[in-house]
Chains A and B, each alone.
Chain A
Amino acid sequence: MIKLIVDTLLSQVRTLWLVFLKLFKKKDTVEYPDQQPYMFPRWRGRIILSRDPDGEERCVACNLCAVACPVDCIALQKGEMEDGRWYPEFFRINFSRCIMCGFCEEACPTNAIQLTPDFEMAEYIRQDMVWEKEDLLINGTGKYHDYNFYRVAGKQIEGKDKGEALNEAAPVDVRSLLP
């Protein structure tokens, strides 16, 4: 009984002393606006649309990101250029719904949609959280520098016929009997 009381008392005093010592420890706080925290390159923040190394839009309006998005915050409309390329006529992300899950980036076959390490996206007006293609599209390749969808894909566009893509076999002659 006496031992229990003494032990309890000593443990309280020890707690107080150890917490008191923290007064002289280095503080963990990062004073944010003055002192920018290090953002990791793969941080999932504000979403951008990138261009391929030739400076063309990467997005081919396949809608996979819109389907993958768990909160349905991506809306886009397919358009087609004269040379056969597809592109989004509009591309809209509602950032007030986006949960920065990164599923869209994983779903995208062309590496067009990418998440960046920028989290400072507060707005006073809710409508300003809806970003259009002009806001999203950047003049660069983002995280993947030399990937160009049309160079590796079999899709036929002006100046690149079927079978001319990188590593692509010539198209099968369906009228021949050989396998």
Chain B
Amino acid sequence: MIALFYIAAIIAVIATVAVILQTNIVHGLLYLILSLLAVAVIFYVLGAPFAAVLEAIVYAGAIMVLFLFVIMMLNLGQHTRDQERSWLTPRGWIVPSLLAAVLLGQLVNVMSQIDHELIPAQIGVMEVSALLFGPYVLAVELASILLLAGLVAAYHLAKTK
């Protein structure tokens, strides 16, 4: 299991870096999907199968499909690739990556102070839903109201006069 975790983690990191460096946008998206799936595997290894599957269904399966859908509508060709490449000059990435490195340092520092068992007990669907509709029911309701508002707005935009 622990080996599985490290393999998935390495894949996730490499895929995410590839998303940034990729100039072909479809390939970039593919790497993003790969990274999401790797994260789903990590969730599974960490004992959260429900979260893992939802990651695959919602993020990899639905949201990314919509991304791809939009990309299909845009007419992307060689010129966007050149544009992407021109943005990848050192002047563009040095400062953000320095800042990110600082954040990473902090994260590693914090992580090294917690000594946790890496593999906790499995948390099934039952437990997750009991928590969601028990102590956190207010948050769930608020989130659903937010989604409803989004739905109504989308309906309004799409409605033909």
The answer to whether A and B touch in the complex, with CB atoms under 8 Å apart, is no
Chain A residues with CB under 8 Å of chain B are none
Chain B residues with CB under 8 Å of chain A are none
